[in-house]
Amino acid sequence: MTHKNLSDSKSISKGDYELRSPEFEDVKRVVAFARALPPNDLLYLRRDISQPPVADAWLTATKDGDSLSLLAEQDGEIVGMSALILDRKSWSPHVGEIRVLIAENARGRGLGRLMVQETFAQAVSSGIEKIIAQMTLDQTAARAVFQELGFEQEALLKEHVRDRRGEDHDIVIMSCNVASAVARMSMHR
């Protein structure tokens, strides 16, 4: 199947996956997807999308333009989500934060990389100049995907998030200058 940037249409197909923008009808499915994830997968998210009002607020933010979001489906089931969180009214309107979640049964097959790449393309199209990503130290595969795109570790926040068992975890913050990354990618084509 051909691969094109989502900004060119409502959805794209890549292998077994269909990537598309979320709709209001997706809230219950998003909540079910989030509840099926291992608890630590939700640690770096600022909001718990396994709760219906929170998932609804995320979708409203997407529709209002405060977030650029994608859902990945396989055989009609949500197997991945990504969001580029924007805060155009803050001191950092040029910065977006990327968040990606992948179902356990869809990991190791390139879906996370595809979603990061598509979300990065959304950032480029929207004029974002810097992207940050947060993750726990044990998410080594995710860190490797971001490093391939030119992200570098910028900060380590010790004992920054607390899981549902009450245990604290460190968070790595990685960042990428979009123009520099695009220039590097152009050179390697």
**pLDDT tens-digit readout, 88-114:** 888 999 999 999 999 999 998 889 989
Domain regions of the chain by residue span: 6-187
Predicted TM-score (pTM) of this structure: 0.83
- The CA-atom distances, in angstroms, between 66 and each of 146, 151, 179 are 22, 22, 21
**pLDDT tens-digit readout, 19-57:** 999 999 999 999 999 999 987 787 767 788 999 999 999
Q: DSSP of 119-182, one letter per residue? A: HHHHHHHHT--EEEEEEETT-HHHHHHHHHTT-EEEEEEEEEEE-TTS-EEEEEEEEEEHHHHH
Contact criterion met (CB below 8 Å) for 116 and 146:
yes
Question: What confidence score (pLDDT) does residue 185 get?
Answer: 72
44-48, 67-71, 138-142, 155-159: least confidently modelled range = 44-48
Mean pLDDT over the full length of the chain: 86
- For 15, residues 6+ apart whose C-beta sits below 8 A from its C-beta are 1, 110
Burial of 57 (C-beta count, 10 Å sphere; 0-12/13-18/19+):
middle
Nearest-5° Cα angle at 92, 91 to 93: 105
Question: What confidence score (pLDDT) does residue 45 get?
Answer: 74
**How far is it, in rounded angstroms, from Cα 10 to Cα 114?**
16
Contact criterion met (CB below 8 Å) for 169 and 156:
no
For 6-187, which CATH class? alpha beta
Question: What confidence score (pLDDT) does residue 188 get?
Answer: 67
Question: What confidence score (pLDDT) does residue 111 get?
Answer: 93
Q: List the one residue out of 155, 172, 91, 82 whose CA is nearest residue 121.
A: 82
